[in-house]
């Protein structure tokens, strides 16, 4: 099976090489790497052109935000399975993609998700281990870590991509449709496959967390689901139990310079 990995970049010169190496080092080689760049003004494109893997596609053009760029990547993908590695982040080890492919083959699943680490100042500060999926868990604040989600291309193309009106929680709205509304065969890979470097749009500030949860609430309304889900209160609270370095988290959100 061919795997397409989408990477979104914008002025990502600081970390794009580490991201690229984590993909290049995979022991599964049938990988298509699609890089969607939002017209970076730094050396991001030069670094990409110097280091791109054999089967890679690079598109650098103005976009309408992260979810517009992400949808472009989905549309360009030609693999049997499609996933994402953002430019600041890395795959956890060289076996990640081969394990994902084997799981799709063994479990005959349509969608796979796994565990994710959060890194801050080169330390793992939070571990997101979502556990087994059930639809009712969405009412209690559950969602899978979006960058760990891999989807068959057939399922991907049979659904609408991201809704551009969402600025922070477009991935939540998309996952709500795939996991909660539809009835696909979903497999939980209980392994840490991805490390996210904190500072992305959804977790860059406490105010963005609040704005993101408001968008999540709107995602339920827009899909004609419950207008009063209990997760509005439980979703932020559930994150507390994932934190393993409280001091670093507190400094990141409340004490750092803007």
Burial class (CB in 10 A: 0-12, 13-18, 19+), 123: exposed
**E strands present in 38-110:** 56-60, 81-84, 90-91
Distance CA 115, CA 129 (A): 5
Categorize the per-residue pLDDT at 19 as very low, low, confident or very high, splitting at 50, 70 and 90: very high
| CATH 3.90.550.10, domain 3-255, yes or no | yes
Distance between CA atoms of residues 250 and 118, nearest Å: 14
- State both tokens at 64: 């309408």
User: Is 213 a residue whose pLDDT tops 60?
Assistant: yes
- Confidence (pTM): 0.88
Q: Is the pLDDT of residue 62 over 70?
A: yes
Domain residue spans of the chain: 3-255
> Is 221 a residue whose pLDDT tops 70?
yes
- State how far the Cα of 144 lies from the Cα of 114, in Å rounded to an integer: 7
Tens-digit pLDDT profile for residues 142-151: 899 999 999 9
Q: What residues does 9 pair with on adjacent strands?
A: 37
Task: Place 227 in a pLDDT band, splitting at 50, 70 and 90.
Answer: low
Is 240 a residue whose pLDDT tops 60? no
The pLDDT assigned to 206 comes to 58
């Amino acid at each position: 099976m061919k795997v397409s990995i989408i990477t979104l970049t914008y002025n990502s010169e600081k970390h794009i090489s580490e991201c690229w190496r984590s993909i290049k080092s995979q022991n599964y080689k049938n990988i298509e790497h699609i890089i969607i760049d939002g017209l970076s003004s730094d050396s991001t494109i030069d670094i990409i052109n110097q280091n791109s893997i054999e089967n890679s596609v690079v598109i650098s053009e103005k976009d309408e935000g992260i979810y517009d760029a992400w949808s472009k990547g989905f549309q360009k993908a030609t693999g049997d399975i499609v996933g994402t590695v953002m430019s600041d982040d890395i795959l956890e080890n060289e076996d990640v993609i081969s394990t994902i492919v084997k799981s799709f083959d063994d479990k005959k699943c349509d969608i796979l998700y796994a565990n994710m680490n959060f890194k801050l100042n080169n330390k793992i500060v939070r571990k997101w281990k979502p556990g087994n999926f059930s639809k009712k868990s969405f009412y209690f604040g559950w969602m899978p870590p979006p960058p760990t989600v891999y989807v068959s291309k057939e399922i991907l193309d049979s659904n609408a991509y991201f809704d551009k009106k969402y600025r922070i929680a477009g991935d939540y709205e998309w996952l709500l449709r795939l996991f909660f509304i539809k009835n696909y065969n979903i497999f939980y890979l209980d392994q840490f496959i991805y490390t996210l470097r904190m500072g992305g749009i959804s977790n860059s500030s406490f105010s963005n967390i609040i704005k993101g949860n408001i968008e999540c609430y709107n995602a339920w309304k827009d899909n004609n689901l419950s207008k009063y889900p209990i997760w509005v209160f439980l979703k932020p609270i559930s994150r507390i139990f994932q934190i393993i370095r409280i001091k670093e988290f507190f400094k990141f959100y409340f004490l750092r310079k803007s």
